[in-house]
């Protein structure tokens, strides 16, 4: 159901963009002798190739029998409306998902004042951009950095001294995963240093996000993200995490940002009964997406309470959340807590052939790859390809990161 709605929006955008080109394309082609029907077919053929669902696009527009861009756009809108009405009638989950889409689109600068009023308990001093010096204590809060509130920095004395926390979750509060975030960074250039962000929901709360990073060029340094399920959500755009610790159980890190984790620790904690643990659930769905997760010189291990149950509550490095899931683990230390297979599908067969998973130059007892599942999506790459996933190449970190004051090693680390 949700995939149907996502198609509708992707299809509509492509129709609006492409239909405008139809007029110009058609005037340089002579009319076919077979008449308007052939011209209509040609117009549809011009409109639909850029879409991610070409056959469905052609089927939806075929009824228009017109080469007029206005008619094609109208037909596209009508198809969209009919599809939305159909799936909305059957799916409460989809209604919630569309509500999230609307909220993302409706973020406005007008919310900035209200957001800062919400942050009024903090000791704020302004130096150049918006610098929030948060007092060293535990805050039971839900913090939103709205779209348009760019260049905000959270900084304090350490991730175990300054902690932002709450226990909002999908199960407890009957809301979507998107809305559960303890801290939601929706603006560009959001930076957090020396901060702890957590969820205290427990495994019973199911999905409960500590941080959702949705704005471009987010940078996080020496931060701790603690939770139980869906703890860290790099949702979209570019992000960089350095010297951070992420502790969780199921889908510890998920989303579709273009993100590098460098010198970070991913720690699997003890889950609930009959639960298994997955470190990464990457969500790349379309070819045009630039999303992908890179773990560079990270340590992936288990909490002391998890070790005794690792043979009962099994741990996996990856499971594809969407068909084109993209994850690269390079020069990292992998503990022996994981099953030899390393990977497990979220849904039977999905992503097994279409994902892009790479392990290169790793170390530790869990880094052996000879027992990995035999998926077509698990790739073997050479050194030159591996270099394209370092921060310098993947994020253009040489120009993007230095101004933040956060250390970054742009290339492979010699000797590892």
Q: How many domains does the chain have?
A: 2
pLDDT of 251 strictly over 50: yes
Annotated active-site residue in 194, 243, 251, 256: 251
Listing from the earlier edge strand, what are the strands of the sheet with 232-234? Answer: 143-145, 183-185, 211-213, 232-234, 253-255, 277-282, 315-318
More confident site: 372 or 128: 372
Confidence of residue 118 (pLDDT cuts 50, 70, 90): very low
Is residue 132, in this structure, part of any structural domain at all?
A: no
User: For the purposes of burial, counting CB atoms within 10 Å of the CB of 364, is it exposed (0-12), middle (13-18) or buried (19 or more)?
Assistant: middle
At which residue do the structure tokens 């993947």 appear? 394
CATH number, position 288: 2.160.20.10
Q: In the numeric block, which tokens belong to residue 314? A: 């099994």
Mean pLDDT of 237-244: 97
At which residue do the structure tokens 């990073």 appear? 213
- The domain boundary, picked from 90, 120, 150, lies at 120
Is residue 135, in this structure, part of any structural domain at all?
A: no
201 and 338 part of one domain: yes
Mean pLDDT of 106-133: 47
Q: What is the pTM of this model?
A: 0.75
Is residue 314, in this structure, part of any structural domain at all?
A: yes
pLDDT at site 355: 97
Known catalytic residue at 52:
no
H-type alpha helices, 107-253: 111-118, 170-173
Query: In this structure, is the dihedral angle defined by the CA atoms of residues 80, 81, 84 and 89, taken in order, positive or negative?
Result: negative
pLDDT at site 156: 81
314 and 370 part of one domain: yes
202 and 301 part of one domain: yes
Is residue 21, in this structure, part of any structural domain at all?
A: no
- The domain boundary, picked from 89, 120, 151, lies at 120
CB 326 within 8 A of CB 293: yes
Phi–psi pair at 411, nearest 5 degrees: -120, -175
- The least confident of 31-45, 123-137, 149-163 is 31-45
105 and 166 part of one domain: no
173 and 106 part of one domain: no
Is residue 206, in this structure, part of any structural domain at all?
A: yes
For residue 132, what are the β-bridge partners? 124, 154
In DSSP notation, 79-130 reads: HHHHHHHHHHHH-HHHHHHHHHHHHHHH--TTHHHHHHHHTTTSEE--BSBE
208 and 290 part of one domain: yes
167 and 114 part of one domain: no
53 and 189 part of one domain: no
Annotated active-site residue in 111, 144, 230, 256: 230
For residue 300, what are the β-bridge partners? 266, 334
Dist CA 240 CA 395 (whole Å): 8
Please give the residue range of the domain that contains residue 173. Answer: 140-404
- The domain boundary, picked from 120, 149, 168, lies at 120
The pLDDT mean for the chain works out to 81
Q: List, for residues 297-328, the tens digit of each pLDDT value.
A: 999 999 999 999 999 999 999 999 999 999 99
In DSSP notation, 363-376 reads: BSGGG--TTS---T
Confidence of residue 114 (pLDDT cuts 50, 70, 90): very low
pLDDT of 335 strictly over 90: yes
Is residue 125, in this structure, part of any structural domain at all?
A: no
For residue 154, what are the β-bridge partners? 132, 192
Dist CA 249 CA 228 (whole Å): 5
Known catalytic residue at 106:
no
68 and 162 part of one domain: no
Is residue 39, in this structure, part of any structural domain at all?
A: yes
Is residue 263, in this structure, part of any structural domain at all?
A: yes
pLDDT at site 20: 40
293 and 245 part of one domain: yes
Q: List, for residues 362-409, the tens digit of each pLDDT value.
A: 999 999 999 999 999 999 999 999 999 999 999 988 888 888 889 999
Mean pLDDT of 78-89: 64
pLDDT of 284 strictly over 80: yes
Confidence of residue 106 (pLDDT cuts 50, 70, 90): very low
Dist CA 326 CA 258 (whole Å): 10
pLDDT at site 84: 62
153 and 110 part of one domain: no
Nearest to 231 by CA among 194, 302, 177: 177
113 and 164 part of one domain: no
């Amino acid at each position: 159901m949700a995939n149907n709605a996502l198609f509708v929006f992707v299809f509509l955008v492509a129709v609006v963009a492409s239909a405008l080109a139809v007029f110009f394309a058609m005037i340089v082609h002579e009319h076919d002798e077979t008449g308007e029907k052939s011209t209509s077919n040609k117009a549809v053929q011009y409109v639909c190739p850029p879409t991610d669902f070409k056959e469905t696009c052609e089927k939806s527009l075929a009824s228009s029998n017109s080469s007029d861009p206005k008619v094609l756009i109208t037909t596209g809108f009508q198809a969209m409306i009919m599809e939305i009405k159909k799936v909305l009638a059957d799916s409460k989950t989809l209604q919630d998902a569309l509500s999230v889409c609307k909220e993302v689109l409706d973020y406005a600068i007008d919310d900035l004042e209200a957001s800062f009023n919400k942050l009024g308990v903090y000791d704020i001093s302004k130096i150049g951009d918006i610098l929030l010096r948060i007092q060293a204590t535990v805050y039971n809060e839900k913090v939103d950095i709205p779209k348009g509130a760019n260049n905000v920095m959270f900084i304090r004395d350490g991730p175990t001294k300054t902690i932002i926390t709450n226990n909002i979750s999908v199960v407890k509060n009957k809301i979507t995963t998107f809305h559960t975030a303890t801290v939601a960074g929706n603006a560009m250039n959001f930076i957090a240093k020396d901060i702890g962000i957590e969820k205290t929901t427990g495994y019973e709360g199911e999905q409960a996000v500590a941080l959702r990073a949705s704005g471009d060029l987010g940078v996080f340094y020496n931060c701790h993200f603690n939770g139980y399920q869906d703890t860290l959500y790099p949702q979209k755009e570019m992000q960089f995490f350095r010297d951070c610790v992420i502790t969780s159980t199921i889908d510890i890190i998920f989303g579709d940002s273009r993100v590098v984790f460098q010198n970070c620790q991913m720690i699997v904690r003890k889950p609930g009964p009959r639960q298994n643990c997955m470190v990464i659930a990457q969500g790349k769905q379309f070819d045009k997406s630039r999303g992908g997760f890179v773990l560079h010189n990270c340590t992936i291990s288990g909490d002391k309470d998890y070790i005794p149950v690792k043979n009962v509550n099994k741990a996996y490095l990856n499971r594809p959340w969407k068909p084109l899931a993209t994850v690269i683990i390079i020069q990292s230390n992998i503990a022996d807590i994981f099953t030899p297979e390393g990977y497990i599908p979220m849904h039977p067969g999905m992503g097994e052939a279409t994902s892009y998973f790479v392990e290169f130059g790793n170390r530790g007892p869990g880094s052996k790859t000879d027992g990995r599942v035999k998926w077509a999506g698990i790739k073997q790459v050479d050194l030159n390809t591996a270099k394209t996933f370092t921060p310098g190449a993947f994020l253009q970190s040489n120009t993007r990161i230095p101004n933040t004051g956060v250390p970054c090693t742009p290339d492979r680390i010699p000797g590892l």
